[in-house]
Amino acid sequence: MEAIDGKPYRFVLVHTNSLREQKTKTLQKRWEKEKRELEKRLRV
């Protein structure tokens, strides 16, 4: 148990594969979009 400003707190760490997969997909989509935009700029 940890104390912050004199008040006791308990922390629980939650790790899920589904959340990691969701974040990975989001980043991949963002990178693909950025890649398309950069390629588009190069053609101009």
Residue 20 confidence (pLDDT) = 86
Each residue's pLDDT expressed in tens, for the chain with a length of 44 residues: 788 898 899 888 887 898 889 999 999 999 999 999 999 999 97
What pLDDT does 39 receive?
Answer: 96
pLDDT score for 2: 80
DSSP string of the chain?
Answer: -EEETTEEE-------HHHHHHHHHHHHHHHHHHHHHHHHHHH-
The per-residue pLDDT for 15 is 78
